[in-house]
Amino acid sequence: MKKVALFIAGFMLVFAPIKVNADEGMWLPLFIKRLNYADMKKEGLKLKPEEIYSVNNSSLKDAIVRLGRGFCTGEMISDQGLMLTNHHCGFGVIQKYSTEENNYLDDGFWAMEKKDELPAGFSVSFLVSMEDVTEKVNAELNEEMTLEERNKAIKMISDSLEKEAKGETDYEVNVRSFFNGNQFFLFIYQTFQDVRLVGAPPSSIGKFGGDTDNWMWPRHTGDFTLFRVYANENNEPAEYSEDNVPYKPKHHLPVSLKGIEEGDFSMIFGFPGSTDRFLTSAGIKYELETRQPTYVKLRRAVLDIYEEEMAQDEATRIAYASKHASISNYWKYFKGQSAGLKRLKVYDKKKAQEDALQEWINQDERRKELYAGVLEGFDTGYENLKEVNRYRIYLNEAIFRVEAIAYSRRFGTLKGLLEAEEKDEEAIAKEVEKLKAGMEANYKDYSKKIDVQVFAEMMKTFSEDIPKENQPEAVVNLFAKYNGDFEKMAAEFYDSTIFADPLSTKEFLDNPSAEGIANDPIWIIQNAVISDYYDNVKPMISKETEGLARSERLFVKGLMEMNSDKNYAPDANSTMRMTYGTVGDYVPRDAVKYDYYTTAQGILEKEDPTDHEFIVPAKLKDLILAKDYGQYASEDGELVVNFISNNDITGGNSGSPMINGNGELIGTAFDGNWEAMSGDIAFETQLQRTIGVDIRYTLFIIDKFAGAKHLIDEMTIVK
């Protein structure tokens, strides 16, 4: 799962003034009692509100963690800090430790003792509390403010509130905007830095189906990885140390072996990244005509280069596995979302809603004054920003997709220190050592052969697709020098740059000079596009964003005022959310019906020894053929692998727990379905499904396949 957010906020689709469905909405758990509890009880929830969210007592929220800054979610499943998340969330860690001799990607990894667990390199954060501070922030704002004045005022009051809430603690505190700047909430987190890899199945299980099955149902993927959170002797956050001990969480999820049935209650807790459900028809047009086609084109070009080289060399396949997976996931996401927006005629539905809002505005003089120009502002804003935003996409997806160019940016601080009239030798030495220390990580999974090809292809694409008048003059001159021969340009640049091989980088750092950086051809391109961005592009974006930001904020305000009887869920923004619904099948198109679960038999049906995406490990195949499922089999003797529910999730929810009405873990969310790829912009009640790994399949792989029963013994198993 996915995705980079738009520079603007998102949109929650409401087509008519009807009650919000129980399966739609990513809700703040703070308001469970007021907004959601009655509906959740009807769906099958047995817990009390305070057992789900409480500041003073142990609750479900205390078992849920945010990975890093929000790239995934995890859940605590033992009182010894054991954490479950997705295989694709841990993929980068698994890849980092993989070599041709110890290929954890292909063979899996299992720490049979705690001393064998490997540092993960990311932190996890627990939510301590959240608070509505809307009145405090809005008291400092008014409609006469410019965007700059408004943002400055929001930052000032937010800084004050954060400082007060943090006090003398080591908590992370931040105020976040909701409903496009109409509401504000303060969040307090406790972050643990010492996280270690415990267990991961081979990719033939964790990524079974690969890119072919990504975003598709039916699925047969064991998309899970186990980590452990460590703390100091006082159970407090601490940097990595051999003296640290497993963290004892305030709450961990009991693990259910009871299985799932159609219609069963399903609740998901997690940290969804971003949705765009307040996106207007003008925004849909921009997505379909500019943004998404650009991403698809540029990422496909890079993937073609990666895949050709990865197929030829095992070391390259391992080195580029994580990079390929990340780029490919979003490439397919944008393809599917574009198709879904068109197929489901989302533009027309949005336009109809906007027409209804305009009619409501016209019925009252106060509204006409307050909301004047709001809808027109979207058309103007998107039109004025179309080309400049396309340039920004090319900057990120073409120019800085070239690894040598991206790496060269790290040398800017050193260049500045070396150019200073009064050189600070101590600062220079410190920066040089910092750059030397980062060389190993930069070059560990780097192929100069691949990067040369990516450079040539991306420069060619940038030259052809971005109008010359919008390209930096220095870049235009470089392109002209080579007269369209980008392969020659790449070859010459990579022969002379200091940023494409470790020997050249080290030689330079042993005797650094400002001229050595300034005259480097890779640096020249990087510096030209960055300078152009800050001198020309960013000011234009800031200028045009003023009106668009006002339209976004007042559009949402108007919708909520017009439909005051509705309960609106805010767009996702990497803060903790709760979503609820039921397990169930769906009809993707005429004459086709998908069941709500898959079994291990489907793994054998998909097996293809000639396709790396559908290889089945011999041991797993033997276990399936023998139906040796142990206590993890269903009542009819089958092994359920994946199941679906109508929960509302998005990127960032990967790894989120799927919880039954008793607060027990029944699965781990890892994907959505192809037919509802437009769901981040327009939730489709009949089509939207969350795909999860059945917890019984996860336990089966840990126990019967990997022989790591000691991990099962840590858990609280409910039969």
Q: Which residues are catalytic?
A: 88, 223, 654
At 7 the three-state DSSP class reads coil
Angle, helices 374-394 vs 448-465, to 10°: value is 140
Interatomic CA distance for residues 339 and 288, integer angstroms: 9
| Residue 685 burial by Cβ neighbours in a 10 Å radius (0-12, 13-18, 19+) | middle
| Residue 290 burial by Cβ neighbours in a 10 Å radius (0-12, 13-18, 19+) | middle
Dihedral of the CA atoms 553, 559, 564, 566 (nearest 10)? -110
Q: Are 481 and 521 in contact (CB under 8 A)?
A: no
Assigned token pair, 209? 């189906």
Q: Are 639 and 696 in contact (CB under 8 A)?
A: yes
Amino acid at 435: L
Number of helices (H), then strands (E), belonging to the chain: the values are 29, 22
Interatomic CA distance for residues 102 and 399, integer angstroms: 34
Interatomic CA distance for residues 230 and 196, integer angstroms: 8
At 587 the three-state DSSP class reads strand
Q: How far are the Cα atoms of 28, 49, 130, 699 from residue 31, in angstroms, in the given order? A: 6, 9, 10, 34
Q: Are 453 and 490 in contact (CB under 8 A)?
A: yes
Interatomic CA distance for residues 27 and 267, integer angstroms: 11
Assigned token pair, 90? 């841990």
Amino acid at 112: M
Amino acid at 333: Y
Q: How far are the Cα atoms of 294, 396, 538 from residue 389, in angstroms, in the given order? A: 11, 11, 10
Chain-centre distance for alpha carbon 575: 12
What value does the CA radius of gyration of the chain take, rounded to a whole number of Å? 26
Contacts (Cβ under 8 Å, ≥6 apart) of 547: 373, 377, 380, 381
Assigned token pair, 452? 């040369």
- Alpha helices for 172-291 (secondary structure H): 203-206, 210-213, 281-286
Q: How far are the Cα atoms of 363, 369, 510, 638 from residue 374, in angstroms, in the given order? A: 15, 10, 58, 56
Interatomic CA distance for residues 159 and 164, integer angstroms: 9
